[in-house]
Structure 1
Amino acid sequence: MFFVEVIEIEGLGNRHYLAGGARTAVAVDPPRDIDQLIAAAAKRGVRITHVVETHVHNDYVTGGLELARLTGATYLVPAAANVSFARTPVHDGDTADIDADVRLRAVATPGHTPHHAAYVLEENGTPVAAFTGGSLLIGTVGRPDLVEPRLTEQLARAQHASAHRLAAELPDETAVLPTHGFGSFCSSAQAEGNATTIGREKSVNEALAKDVDAFVADLLAGLEDVPAYYAHMGPVNASGPAPLDLTPPAVADAEQIAARLAAGEWVVDLRNRVAFAEGHVAGSFNFEAEGKLATYLAWMIPWGKPVTLLADNTEQLAQAQRELVRVGIDRPAAAATGGPERWLRPGDDPVSFARADFGDLAALGPDPDVVILDVRRDSERAASHIVGSVHIPIHDLHKRLAEVPPGTVWVHCAGGMRAAIAASLLDAAGRDIVAVDDSFDNAAAAGLPLVAA
């Protein structure tokens, strides 16, 4: 009897899989912190004999090469992928025996990348699941614009064809198990739901419901900005990532924290946004450990700039370090735990800023000294925004601080997390800030005038 176990990385919006039979298993698109897959295999009492990649990933550093090395597994990578390490090249139709009655079959599914492959898990010759990587997702497909701008339309058309191939060749009851689409920016649209099948996708997936020209036009029109760190993931994965290092970083005292800030390095406070607003080290930035830390910090920090992490405790620090290695931020320059009382030099005081909700903002009424700053994405802004507000997406704000008009800045997003990041950046720049920690759904009810773009 086959099994499939899911390893979910919520912060990056990805899923990774361990699948197999009674004795042996395959790891699919493993994350860099491979200890999770090794532990899952040990718990089941199976040996990992194969590691497969659906494509060279653009949104995270793979653990595939290291997992194959440690386990002695055969490392399967699409043959057309331009990589510089030894692997077993996979062509369309190739098969691999995973266990006595369990087999994996490669299906060429270009679109998300030119070389993309899906892997169909078969038990006694019957397809039971398809590991679709970045091709067929839940209700949508992977975006086709991550490789080369000149190839985007061509890959979008290939994505449509690949989705139709999977739908035509696989039984309706086949489970569709994508790597992306659970919040990942590799998804071309927001995927909904946690599970699906080929049969369900035939009725809900846009790639299967539209003709190719309409599909491509709509897909290309809906693509948003790509996280900046994606530019570094592909080359790292193609060259073969180094083994991860999760040993604790050097401990920074108050003098060292101040010196790093003075040197222009990033000091990142991982505490929740309420605690940060109430008191923090001047010049530090707030990226909540409980938020999408890896995505937004890796997106915004100048690549390669040293980062010092400030955390509530060692557990929070260790988890943050784990999340960051997944996107290639390998070693924090230093770290400290506790709170501002331990991070500030004698005589230095913590700084703070106000928090509010949309009701508080509405109560102000028209005020020429108030700037309403919207840091949501373009698509969110287009759906609805506050009349007269200024729009700078959060991932651009650190480069466009000078564009924020003078006055007290009331900054908002859709729920509060991104507004907190923005507030910390503006606070570090010396601006007078109010962080709106509220759902944008409450803006209209509060009486704020809204308009669609």
Structure 2
Amino acid sequence: MFFVDTLEFEGLGNRSYLAGGPRTAVVVDPPRDVDQVIATAARRGARIAYVAETHVHNDYVTGGLELARLTGARYLVPAGAIVAFARTPVADGDTYEVDEHLTLRAIATPGHTPHHTAYALEEDGRATAVFTGGSLLIGTVGRPDLVDPRLTEHLARAQHASAHRLAAAFDDEVPVLPTHGFGSFCSSSPAGAGGTTTTIGQERAGNDAFTLDVDTFVQQILAGLEDVPAYYAHMGPANAAGPAPVDLTPPEPADAAQIAERLAAGEWVVDLRSRVAFAEGHVAGSFNFEGTGKPATYLAWLIPWGKPVTLLADTPARVADAQRELARVGIDRPAAATTGDPAAWVRQGERLASFPRARFADLAGLAGPTGVVVLDVRRDSERGECFIEGSVHIPLHELRSRADEVPDGTVWVHCAGGMRAAIAASLLDATGREVVAVDDGFEAAAEAGLNVIRP
């Protein structure tokens, strides 16, 4: 009897999988922090015999090399991937005996990357699941533009062909288990609208890779691609070189004087508390990346790569969670951290900074909003669907480099729900701008009477 356990990483929008039988198992696309993978295998009583990568990842640092070293497992990496470490090169059609009656079969599925490989888990020759990595996702496919701009159209066509190859190889009821597509920016379009699980049959019926001809599919994919997170440029090279073991021991503690010194030195001080708590009182110059949101994704996207980071939080557990998330995207060691009462984070005689929060109804209620700037920090695709008349648009990931484009006045900054607006407000507040963070769902803008333009 086989099993498949899913390990969810909501912050990155990814999943890893542990699959096997009574004695041995395979791990597909493991995260950087492998301790939880090992713990999951231990609960199953299964030895990890194989670690399989579907591709050299562009959105996170893999723990595959370290997991293979710790467990003695064979490390399966697509043969076409150029890497700097010893591994078992995987070619199309290769098979590996995971446990008695249980086999892993490699299927070349180029598109997300040129060397991308899916893996079918077969019990006595019958497919029980297919691990599709960044190939066939839930309702979409992995984006084809992460390797080389010159290859993007070619890889988009390959994605279409790979999806059809998978559909031809498996029965409708076979589960499709992708790595990307649960909020990951590796997805070519928003995925998972139809749920969090899927099968070959469901994808055949509703995925554009099957419902559109190849030319229309490619045209649509290319038209829908948005900016790539800046940190992606560092993930592929790190994975190809072979990531070092991760160190999750607690960071050095920081007192108020050290926090001030780090800010003065141009380092990043990141407050992980809720956007409500941050707005009420925070260290001037610090940035707010909520620990309950996607701190790793947006912090790694915005920070100058290699800049030291000091973490502030209400509890040590919040720091530990963020440290784990950051390690997954290559920010390995916070320079320092502190927790507890924010009043202790500033030196004696100094006061915490603050700024107001508001709803769209508050913005609509302003009488003659002279000197008010409405700043929209949503992505281009969101802006293209609708926007508040007269608002300025600078996507969050461009705000630090384009802050001088924000007109003079009090900046009412909004996004779709409030989290990105809070980050943006903290970035502007740190520069001395007067800000109001709109903490509201965008649908409330029109309900409040604001003129929402729908192109």
Report the TM-score when normalising by structure 1.
Answer: 0.99
Query: Displacement, 1:366?
Result: 4.0
Query: Matches of 1:333 and 1:73 in 2, distance apart?
Result: 33
Query: Matches of 1:166 and 1:110 in 2, distance apart?
Result: 12
Cross-structure match for 2:125: 125
Q: Helix, strand or coil: the match of 1:227?
A: coil
Query: Matches of 1:408 and 1:68 in 2, distance apart?
Result: 54
Residues 84-137 of structure 1 deviation map (CA, whole Å, 9 limit, x = unaligned): 100000000000000001100000000000000000000110011000000000
Query: Matches of 2:84 and 2:47 in 1, distance apart?
Result: 27
AA paired with 2:223? A
AA paired with 1:251? P
Cross-structure match for 2:278: 276
AA paired with 2:33? D
Cross-structure match for 1:314: 316
Query: Displacement, 1:452?
Result: 2.4
Q: From 259, 262, 272, give the equivalent of 1:260.
A: 262
1:66-85 aligned within 5 A: 66-85=66-85
Q: Helix, strand or coil: the match of 1:364?
A: coil
1:54-65 aligned within 5 A: 54-65=54-65
Query: Matches of 2:11 and 2:115 in 1, distance apart?
Result: 26
Query: Displacement, 1:313?
Result: 1.1
Q: Helix, strand or coil: the match of 1:398?
A: helix
Asked whether 1:350 is paired with 2:352, we answer yes
Q: Helix, strand or coil: the match of 2:401?
A: coil
Cross-structure match for 1:251: 253
Cross-structure match for 2:92: 92
Query: Matches of 1:118 and 1:340 in 2, distance apart?
Result: 48
Query: Matches of 2:74 and 2:41 in 1, distance apart?
Result: 16
1:4-403 aligned within 5 A: 4-192=4-192, 193-403=195-405
Q: Helix, strand or coil: the match of 2:139?
A: coil
Residues 180-226 of structure 1 deviation map (CA, whole Å, 9 limit, x = unaligned): 00000000011121000000100110011111100000000000010
Query: Matches of 1:21 and 1:332 in 2, distance apart?
Result: 39
Q: From 441, 450, 453, give the equivalent of 1:451.
A: 453
Report the TM-score when normalising by structure 2.
Answer: 0.99
Query: Displacement, 1:270?
Result: 0.5
Query: Displacement, 1:365?
Result: 4.5
Which 4+ residue blocks in structure 1 deviate beyond 3 angstroms?
none
Query: Matches of 2:224 and 2:286 in 1, distance apart?
Result: 34
AA paired with 2:18? L
Structure 2: gaps spanning 5 or more residues: none
State the percentage of identical aligned residues.
73
Query: Displacement, 1:341?
Result: 1.0
Query: Matches of 2:425 and 2:269 in 1, distance apart?
Result: 15
Q: Helix, strand or coil: the match of 1:399?
A: helix
Q: Helix, strand or coil: the match of 1:42?
A: helix
Query: Displacement, 1:398?
Result: 1.1
Cross-structure match for 2:416: 414
Residues 417-440 of structure 1 deviation map (CA, whole Å, 9 limit, x = unaligned): 000000001100101111000000
Count, aligned residues: 453
Query: Matches of 2:316 and 2:446 in 1, distance apart?
Result: 41
Query: Displacement, 1:339?
Result: 2.8
1:433-448 aligned within 5 A: 433-448=435-450
Structure 1: gaps spanning 5 or more residues: none
Cross-structure match for 1:405: 407
Query: Matches of 1:190 and 1:334 in 2, distance apart?
Result: 36
